[in-house]
Structure 1
């Protein structure tokens, strides 16, 4: 065997199976498509489950892939050992009802011994204990020595997840030598030590489990194999773990240069290096496939990985953003195999930079929260709940929390913290278990025998068609009558089916005997267009001829908005930069809602520039061209693909001159002049790094302008301004008048406060040299309480003022403590907390001033009466 780089190994595998008649498919996106059982793709076969179940016809009966995968069962373990990782690549060859055990085993052995030239005396094969057929094939046909075949039980060598295709498997192991062994006499294949490494799993899917212990044989058995690319690279490069593999090591070396350290010199620093290396690989690939940071789902996984990497950067002494720089190395190491990373480089690095900057602020917020918890906690132990929340929300490791509280003479309830962490792991584990059980659950597709619908809507607005199926209450029926809610499937249609952010077409479909009002059109994975609606009159039957009339004006409005969305994206990239990518859109007959990647609110000037550019293209009357072409030709033209989307070999490209070229299956106007007018209504934030623009076109834009002018006219009339043009001047004048009145009110409140304060000091109680003032005011806002407290504290350093006030059915309590009183151990935050408890309230603050709310207004007098006791108790 010869040292071989990871990228070369990937190519050797895929080329080998291409030579065996397999179609090489690019890696599927990490985001599962039409599969709610998975959060992220976690194996080579996961995105092809419907090929195995027969729900979708594969492009070839023989397929080979190198699939990007993410597994996150124990993120917190990554880095602690060199074994754990979240991102990996899975090599696989698959047969969908074509070849089976004979070919799969022979090719696996040929690749290992002939292509990779792995020593035969280092290889072992395991089989399912009852699979005599596999034993005979391995020994008699492939030529593996019988003594190098190990039979193992169902737990190890039978692949099964809930119901669906399943079967025995064979695994190939590599013996790394005695120095990696445990030394036990029975050490062998299957031992938990590091000597025997399983690197290839060949699954013989030959049964169809019903989930109840019954395993009838499949009519057309399948082959599903999986080989970890990084694990294979470890073997071929003679290294102990994935972090020493060439491409991964190049990423780690970049981090070492930034931190000014070397891997292998300090175990604690090595942990941080492994965490950052693994997590930046994962996040770069996830963003490249369209995952955006968020607080739930796969977006939360991304955010958690990024934040964990950033925190470990700080532990290495890196006190500036650096992850985006390292992401460039990830892209450079993988761009030949995954060109989409290079295409999305600006977007990936920008998003990582912004998220890391945001986390730096989050860490500061976490410190503020921790300091607040310490200040208000009377106990000498920080609760496990608080420590857990700091870890989960702000990424604070327990060690950091312990170190900080120790400086204040406190400890942490570690037992409760670990209990909560374990509960979180159990929830995640159960979620994964449930997802796995459903992984092979097929759809109960009532349209399985209905051929795909022919879509004619690009060229025609109406057509004659035949009714192929009628759905009512989820079931197939032969006919339906007036008043029934139904779904129609036709052999052909001009109705666009909801997809790509464009809503489905609506309008009438009629036959000689019926009129159906369609209110939505969708399509399934088999490309059946499903027309949802109500029968207004007559009866419709399977086999009837119908006319797809539709709603022409509604359809034209949708086309105007969809073409405008393309112009908007091009304009945004012109004004903001190439990092702008579509992150979602909704195009209907009323408006266009466009989500895009950007990391700051647009300024009024930027919005104006975008709007001006789009309207300029509209006024130019540029032709809009829609045509299908090979995907490589489309990429050469510079056509933009939807962020994170995967396409077939033939794509539809919508071009507006040289201004905009996009992959798109939607409907569009044939000339930009038909859009009429484009007006942006709003610009807002959707999530971290994602902005949203809502806009209108055509008649909707005209309606918006008319409504706005009408509202301005009404405002002008109310303000007694003769014309709309005078509104701004009148508004400035009124603002100045209101500010002057506010100043007068503030001055009067200050005078009233002075008058009240003078009277308060007369009733002050002396407690061990501290003057304690209590008072209750009605119809007094909380800011007035604060003002009085400030004045009292400034005038008397040895005072404690406890003031309560009610207004509009609510009550507040404010406490001020002068400097001399503070020196005697009095703290406003602690006083207000105890006083407020009497009236069913709570609150807190600093030593010199604090406020609290009170729920029971009837107990305010009782609360104020308790103040003297609270102060006396604290002084003692």
Structure 2
């Protein structure tokens, strides 16, 4: 079942205009990456631009959460559902329809299109949202509707601006598979899995906290493709689904190893990270020493280090590009056009890092043997400065050992280096960039390296 296609066609049949996924780099100075399905519509929700015609839309938005406030990087590979790259299915109404229709659409899609069993479904609403509570009782027994407070069921774009209560649909994966004390509705366990969030934007919050009803309340929903796919396929981890297993199997083939879930975190890290790397490169982000390019480099190098743990000591990430394109190029056609370009960029970056990773790991392990509590900030800086290990990569390796790094010392050394560089700066370097030697390097490596 092509859930992505089914979702978009369902909402198209309800009069929604199907909008292509916006870029992963948003036109928004407050965000590093597009991290939610509503980001492309933010200016409409805030009223900065007029509402579109038609005022109801649907999309499958590519998202990245790795860096900045929304950062899932440390958990990726170690949990069942954290990803750096994911796809968010959503339907949006800009003052056209509200709770009655949004709830009806969600229930119809989940029960009639996805055909998830009704006796496995639960719903949450905000404790003060009597309207949503009453509407939901048309579809589901009152005993299966839970009321929660602001922490769980209230959404805001920021400290001020549009906001409102939300309603979530949960799927019970089965008591027989889960026995944690947190495996109850509202708990932090994995038995009850949130699959869809419907945000009812009905207030404007002012700086003093006053909540004023919006003249045209709106709808913003989001359903994670990875979660729903896993549920539909009867899997308890997103990584066991058809979205990831072909990539994991490719990694196993390259490493000449057998993948087992309990010991397979490195396989999962790689299968997640290659999707982020391919999409970012295909959309024009390049490896760099700062900003989005730095996050991209972090993601690739983290994957390479996990490849090293699997015994892969040569460039291999570029070999996974074909499989990503095979899996996703049908919907995101630009991946097919950029495939060879992306493979070349990845291989170059792999070669650079792998040239130093062995020596860097030797230094890391030497210091690790001496470390009782806090890993040396001086060594962490040397790993960064000499061997190209981002601080995040060192911290990630230490996390596996239950240790922390002296980040304050690292930052101090970094600031000293920046001050020295600034003091010795003699010009913009533009003249050097006109030289023949530089142009050869530029053609080979790209301007972001210089």
Q: TM-score, normalised by structure 2?
A: 0.84
Which residue number in structure 2 is paired with residue 93 of structure 1? 91
Query: What does residue 386 of structure 1 align with?
Result: 378
C-alpha spacing 1:349/1:15, structure 2 compared with 1 (3 Å)? same
Partner of 1:294: 288
Equivalenced residue count is 414
Structure 2: segments with no counterpart, 5+ residues: 412-429
CA separation of 1:400 and 1:379: change in aligned 2, threshold 3 A: closer
Question: What displacement does 1:316 show?
Answer: 0.8
1:313 is the counterpart of 2:316: no
Q: Which residue of 2 aligns with 1:53?
A: 46
Counterpart of 1:281?
Answer: 275
Offset at 1:54?
2.3
Deviation at residue 318 of structure 1 after TM alignment: 1.2
Measure the CA separation in 2 of the matches of 1:367 and 1:115. 50
Match of 1:239 among 216, 235, 241: 235
Q: Is the 8 A contact 1:391 1:398 kept in 2?
A: no
Q: 1-side partners of 2:169 and 2:373: how far apart?
A: 53
> What does residue 177 of structure 1 align with?
174
Contact 1:82 1:274 in 2 (8 A): no
**Cα RMSD (Å) of the superposition?**
3.3
Judged with a 3 Å threshold, the aligned counterparts in structure 2 of structure 1 residues 18 and 272 are, in CA distance, closer, same or farther, namely same
Deviation digits for residues 476-495 of structure 1 (CA, Å, limit 9, x no counterpart)? xxxxxxxxxxxxxxxxxxxx
Query: Residues 228 and 401 (structure 1 numbering): CA distance in 2 closer, same or farther, change over 3 Å?
Result: closer
Equivalent residue, structure 1, for 2:422: none
Report the 3-state secondary structure (helix = DSSP H, G, I; strand = E; otherwise coil) of the residue aligned with 1:205.
strand
SS of match in other structure, 1:239: coil
Query: Deviation of residue 138 (structure 1)?
Result: 1.2
Cα deviations across residues 592-629 of structure 1 (Å, max 9, x unaligned)? x9xxxxxxx9997xx9xxxxxxxxxxxxxxxxxxxxxx
Whether contact under 8 Å (1:104, 1:202) holds in the other structure is yes
Map 1:132-281; keep pairs closer than 5 Å: 132-139=130-137, 142-160=138-156, 161-182=158-179, 184=181, 188-264=184-260, 267=263, 270-281=264-275
Which residue in 2 is equivalent to 1:808?
A: none
Between Structure 1 and Structure 2, the one with more helix by share is 2
Please state whether the residue corresponding to 1:216 is helix, strand or coil: strand
The corresponding residue for 2:33 is 40
**Candidates 395, 415, 420, aligned match of 2:407:** 420
Q: Any unmatched runs of 5+ in structure 1?
A: 403-411, 425-592, 594-600, 608-681, 693-876
Alignment of 1:422-441 (within 5 A): none
CA distance in 2: counterparts of 1:22 and 1:32, whole angstroms: 23
Query: What is the match of residue 677 of structure 1?
Result: none
SS of the counterpart of 1:254? helix
1:418 positional shift: 3.5
Contact 1:362 1:394 in 2 (8 A): no
Distance in 2 between residues matched to 1:391 and 1:51, nearest whole Å: 45
Q: Matched residues in 2 for 1:382 and 1:348: separation?
A: 38
Return the alpha-carbon distance in structure 1 between the equivalents of residues 373 and 196 of structure 2. 51
Q: Deviations over 1:14-64 (max 9, x none)?
A: 00000000000110000011x111000100001210121222233530100
- Secondary structure in 1 aligned to 2:97? coil
Task: Give the superposition deviation at 1:76.
Answer: 2.8
Q: 1:496 maps to which residue?
A: none
| Contact 2:377 2:408 (C-alpha < 8 Å) held by counterparts | no
Provide the C-alpha distance between the structure 2 equivalents of 1:171 and 1:29, rounded to a whole number of angstroms. Answer: 27
Q: Is the 8 A contact 2:248 2:267 kept in 1?
A: yes
1:388/1:421 contact within 8 Å kept: no
Distance 1:294 1:687, change over 3 A: farther
Out of 442, 446, 449, the position equivalent to 1:690 is 446
In the alignment, the residues of structure 1 paired with residue 443 and residue 150 of structure 2 have an alpha-carbon distance, to the nearest angstrom, of 46
Q: Alpha-carbon deviation of 1:82?
A: 3.2
Per the alignment, do residues 301 and 687 of structure 1 end up closer, same or farther by CA in structure 2, a change over 3 Å counting? Answer: farther
* SS of match in other structure, 1:683: helix
Which residue pairs with 2:356 in the alignment?
A: 362
The 3-state SS of whatever aligns with 2:243 is: helix
Task: Determine the structure 2 residue equivalent to 1:659.
Answer: none
Q: CA deviation at 1:145?
A: 1.3
Measured after TM superposition, the shift of residue 192 of structure 1 is 1.2
Q: 2:15 aligns with which of 4, 21, 25?
A: 21
Q: Give the match for residue 31 of structure 1.
A: 25
Instruction: Describe the SS at the equivalent of 1:359.
Output: helix
Asked if the contact 2:89/2:224 (under 8 Å) is kept, the reply is yes
- CA shift in 2, pair 1:229/1:390, >3 Å: farther
Q: Is the 8 A contact 2:239 2:268 kept in 1?
A: yes
Distance 1:137 1:171 in 2: 13
Q: 1:188: Cα distance to partner?
A: 3.0
Deviation (angstroms), 1:690:
1.7
| TM-score (norm. length: structure 1) | 0.44
Which deviations, in whole Å up to 9, do the C-alpha atoms of 1:515-547 show, x marking residues without a partner?
Answer: xxxxxxxxxxxxxxxxxxxxxxxxxxxxxxxxx
CA distance in 2, matches of 1:380, 1:333: 45
Counterpart Cα distance in 2 of 1:398 and 1:104: 43
1:83 and 2:75 are equivalent in the alignment:
no
- Give the whole-Å Cα distance in 2 for the aligned partners of 1:380 and 1:154: 41
- Paired with 1:247 and 1:30, the residues of 2 have a C-alpha distance of 19
Larger-Rg structure: 1
- Distance in 1 (alpha carbons) for counterparts of 2:232 and 2:409: 38
Given the superposition, is the C-alpha separation of residues 329 and 305 from structure 1 closer, same or farther in structure 2, using an over 3 Å criterion? same
Q: Distance in 2 between matches of 1:398 and 1:143?
A: 48
Partner of 1:106: 104
For each residue in 1:688-722, what CA deviation from the matched residue of structure 2 results, as whole angstroms up to 9, or x when unmatched?
Answer: 93249xxxxxxxxxxxxxxxxxxxxxxxxxxxxxx
What does the per-residue CA deviation read over 1:763-797, in whole Å, with 9 as the maximum and x for residues that have no partner?
xxxxxxxxxxxxxxxxxxxxxxxxxxxxxxxxxxx
Distance in 2 of aligned mates of 1:201 and 1:178: 23
- 1:307-341 alpha-carbon deviations (Å, 9 max, x no partner): 11111111111121111110111111000110011
Deviation of residue 136 (structure 1)?
Answer: 1.2
User: Where does residue 316 of structure 2 map in the other structure?
Assistant: 322
